């Protein structure tokens, strides 16, 4: 037995080297974190920072001197001001319209229990991963020349801004349902009940308890929608016509058609600044959203609708989903079978010559090209995004946490600029990739990485440190701890992340349109090319190809929906 001294011995003075010597584990953890950051940092420096910097540099560098004055000069032009104005107001209008239509949907899907709810949740997510080119094509089939509305009532919207706005709602409905509805489903209804018991009316309880809890999520969703619509390219390219151009579409026009790099560079910088500001606000709202809320299992909060009012709301939401989200793809599919024979357009896809010399290979070949590119891009995105997420999740300081907002930047920086930047920076040894097939997957992975990080990070951060400690005390080495504790818990998130990365890579258009080789185009590029040609056969082939692309994306997503965890990110 023993000897523990109740009286405390006067403390010996601390050895001077204490801080250096005392935490060997801490230094090693820092080293591991730094090591994990290396691949993402190198990747972003080489394939994002450098191309963008090169393009911007060329725009401002002229005849051996810098010309910062161009900024004011370009932004002073009336037509550029029109573009800026249109970009901003259509993004604001799209965001408002999306919130208006999707918030009731978020509520219904979060709080009402009805048959087919799970399926519906999956279905409304599909549009988000559809390639913008497909979305544009689908709306063209619905509201464009010779579209469904044109045939029925002679209504055409494709020359109005409404087509763009509706397509943006279609695309972003899921962002609101996921971000707001996901939280709504987990808010403890007893909080509202407590307010009711304390004397608040139903509306008062909602306004004072639920709304403040939801507000940060609504703000975050609104900012994401604003970001996506502000930088919209594929949709505007197809539906906007010559009258309407967003910044991104204008950058494409200046770069590819007018070869005016200096104007394009100014526009790129402008978009960069706008996106950076939006992301900063987004990071702030995300942090506010993490403030302590009482969250409960979503399964316990949903109830069957009661009373005429709730059934009406459910009916209205289902109707709006049917009209807005289901009708356009349905029309697209119907049109793709609308040739002289049902499969005319699909048959034509097998023939390179059918579209009058648009392609060097049969358009169907682009399906395989796209799948291969997307798989390679997914692998890259998982590697880079996985490293970044792992580094960011390890008891990171405030500075490192800020980095995860930075990783979102590729979503907002002009893809056109990135694509063109690839061509002018990756053309000399040791990195001469201009003729390599890897160029396309690298560009596509850039947009995949933010999704991987967004999906993985919350899951990794949610792994309780003490679970790792429990494993360590039981005798598991650090590597073993990772394999036995972390990996099984994040395995599903990895699959979900992979699915998102795959879908966005498959649909990437802005950068790919520059760098895909003519003999090896991707599916979205082929669709855009077909739409750019006259004739019913080309149009029909675009519909058919879009349908194939849509089915591939939808199948990938619906498979994922079965694996999805509630924690896996906010998309």
Partner 1 sequence: MPDSENPDSGMPPAVSPSAAVPPGSGEPGGALLALEGVTVRFGGRAALDGVDLAVAAHETVCVLGPSGSGKSTLLRVVAGLQPPDTGRVLLAGADQRGVPPHRRGLGLMFQDHQLFPQRDVAGNVDFGLRVRGAGRAERAARVAELLELVGLPGAGRRAVAALSGGEQQRVALARALAPNPRLLMLDEPFGQLDRGLRERLVTELRALFGRLGTTVLAVTHDQGEAFALADRVVVMRDGRIAQTGTPLEVWRRPADEFVARFLGFDNVVAATVTGTAADTPWGRLPVPAGSPEGARRLLVRPAGVRPAEGAGGLRCTVAGRVFRGHHVAVRLRPDAAGAPPLEAEWPLREAPEEGAEVGVRFAPEEIVVLG
Q: What residues line the site for partner 1 (CB under 8 A)?
A: 1-6, 8-9, 11-12, 14-15, 18, 22-25, 464, 466-467, 469-478, 480-481, 484-485, 488-489
Pairwise CA distance, residues 394 & 377, whole Å: 26
In contact, 484 and 416? CB cutoff 8 Å:
no
Measured CA to CA, the distance from residue 370 to residue 230 in angstroms comes to 26
Q: Where are the alpha helices (DSSP H) in 296-362?
A: 307-321, 327-336, 344-348
**Angle, vertex CA 511, rays to CA 509 and CA 514, nearest 5:** 100
Cβ nearer to partner 1, comparing 297 with 519: 297
Give me the least distance between CB of 359 and partner 1, in Å please.
Answer: 49
Q: Of 9 and 257, which CB lies nearer to partner 1 in the complex structure? A: 9
Residues 79 and 178: their CA atoms lie apart, in Å, by 37
* Closest CB to partner 1 among residues 395, 432: 395
Give the integer Cα–Cα distance in Å for 73 and 163: 32
CB of 10 to partner 1, least distance (A): 8
Cβ closest to partner 1, residue 4 vs residue 259 = 4
Query: SS3 of 187, please?
Result: strand
Structure tokens at 538: 């080309």
Q: Smallest distance from the beta carbon of 262 to partner 1, in angstroms? A: 54
- Between 316 and 474, name the residue whose CB sits nearer to partner 1: 474
Report helix, strand or coil for 295.
Answer: strand
CB of 40 to partner 1, least distance (A): 27
Q: What distances in angstroms separate CA 391 from CA 30, 412, 485, one per listed residue?
A: 9, 23, 17
Which one, 49 or 478, has the nearer CB to partner 1?
478
Q: CB of 463: closest distance to partner 1 in angstroms?
A: 10
Cβ distance to partner 1 smaller for residue 191 or 565: 565
Nearer to partner 1, 15 or 532 (CB): 15
For the chain, the straight-line distance linking the first and the last C-alpha, in angstroms and rounded, comes to 60
Which residue, 241, 338, 236, is CA-closest to 543? 338
Find the shortest distance in angstroms from Cβ 28 to partner 1: 10
Q: Could you give the CA distance from residue 354 to residue 533 in angstroms, rounded to a whole number?
A: 12
Q: Where are the beta strands (DSSP E) in 387-434?
A: 427-428, 431-432
Q: How far is the CB of 14 from partner 1 (least distance, A)?
A: 6
Contact (Cβ atoms closer than 8 angstroms) between residue 122 and residue 557: yes
Q: Residue 4 Cβ, how far from partner 1 at the closest point, in Å?
A: 4
Sequence-ordered strand ranges (E) for 429-505: 431-432
Instruction: Report the residue number, 115 or 488, with the smaller CB distance to partner 1.
Output: 488
Sign of the torsion formed by the C-alpha atoms of 498, 500, 504 and 506: positive
Residue 226: partners with Cβ closer than 8 Å, 6 or more residues away? 91, 92, 94, 95, 278
Which CB atom, from 62 or from 566, has the smaller least distance to partner 1? 566
CA angle 235, 123, 222 (to 5 degrees): 55
């Amino acid at each position: 037995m023993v000897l523990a001294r109740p009286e405390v011995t006067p403390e010996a003075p601390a050895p001077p080297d204490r801080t250096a010597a005392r935490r060997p584990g801490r230094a090693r953890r820092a080293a591991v974190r730094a090591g994990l950051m290396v691949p993402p940092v190198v990747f972003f420096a080489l394939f994002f920072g450098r191309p963008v910097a090169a393009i911007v540099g060329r725009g401002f560098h002229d005849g051996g001197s810098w010309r910062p004055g161009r900024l004011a000069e370009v932004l002073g032009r009336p037509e550029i001001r029109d573009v800026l104005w249109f970009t901003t107001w259509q993004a604001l209008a799209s965001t408002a319209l999306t919130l208006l239509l999707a918030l009731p949907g978020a509520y219904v899907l979060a709080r009402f229990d009805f048959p087919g709810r799970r399926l519906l949740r999956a279905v409304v997510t599909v549009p988000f991963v559809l390639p913008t080119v497909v979305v544009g094509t689908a709306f063209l089939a619905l509201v464009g020349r010779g579209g469904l509305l044109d045939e029925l009532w002679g209504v055409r919207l494709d020359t109005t801004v409404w087509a763009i706005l509706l397509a943006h709602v279609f695309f972003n409905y899921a962002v609101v349902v996921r971000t707001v509805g996901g939280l709504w489903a987990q808010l403890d209804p007893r909080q509202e009940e407590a307010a009711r018991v304390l004397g608040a009316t139903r509306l008062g309880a909602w306004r004072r308890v639920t709304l403040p809890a939801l507000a940060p999520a609504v703000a975050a969703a609104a900012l994401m929608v604003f970001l996506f619509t502000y930088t919209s390219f594929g949709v505007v390219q197809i539906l906007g016509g010559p009258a309407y151009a967003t910044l991104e579409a204008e950058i494409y026009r200046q770069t590819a058609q007018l070869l005016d790099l200096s104007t394009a560079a100014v526009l790129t910088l402008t978009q960069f600044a706008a996106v950076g500001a939006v992301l900063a606000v987004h990071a702030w709202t995300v942090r506010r959203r993490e403030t302590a809320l009482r969250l409960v299992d979503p399964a316990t909060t949903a109830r069957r609708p009661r009373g005429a009012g709730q059934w009406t709301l459910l009916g209205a939401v289902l109707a709006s989903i049917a009209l807005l989200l289901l009708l356009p793809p349905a029309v697209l599919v119907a049109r793709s079978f609308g040739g002289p024979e049902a499969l005319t357009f699909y048959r034509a896809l097998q023939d390179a010559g059918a579209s009058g010399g648009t392609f060097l290979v049969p358009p169907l070949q682009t399906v395989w090209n796209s799948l291969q590119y997307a798989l390679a891009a997914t692998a890259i995105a998982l590697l880079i995004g996985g490293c970044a997420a792992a580094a960011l999740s390890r008891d990171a300081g405030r500075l490192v946490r800020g980095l995860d907002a930075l990783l979102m930047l590729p979503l907002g920086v002009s893809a056109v600029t990135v694509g063109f930047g690839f061509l002018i920076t990756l053309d000399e040894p040791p990195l001469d990739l201009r003729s390599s097939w890897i160029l396309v997957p690298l560009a596509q992975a850039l947009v995949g990485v933010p999704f991987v990080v967004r999906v993985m990070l919350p899951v990794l951060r949610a792994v309780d440190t003490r679970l790792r400690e429990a494993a360590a005390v039981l005798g598991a080495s650090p590597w073993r701890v990772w394999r036995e504790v972390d990996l099984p818990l994040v395995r599903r998130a990895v699959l979900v992340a992979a699915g998102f990365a795959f879908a966005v890579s498959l649909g990437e258009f802005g950068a790919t349109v520059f760098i895909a080789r003519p003999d090896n185009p991707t599916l979205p590029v082929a669709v855009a090319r077909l739409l750019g040609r006259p004739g019913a056969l080309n149009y029909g082939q675009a519909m058919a190809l879009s349908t194939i692309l849509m089915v591939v994306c939808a199948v990938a997503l619906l498979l994922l929906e079965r694996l999805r965890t509630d924690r896996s990110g906010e998309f």
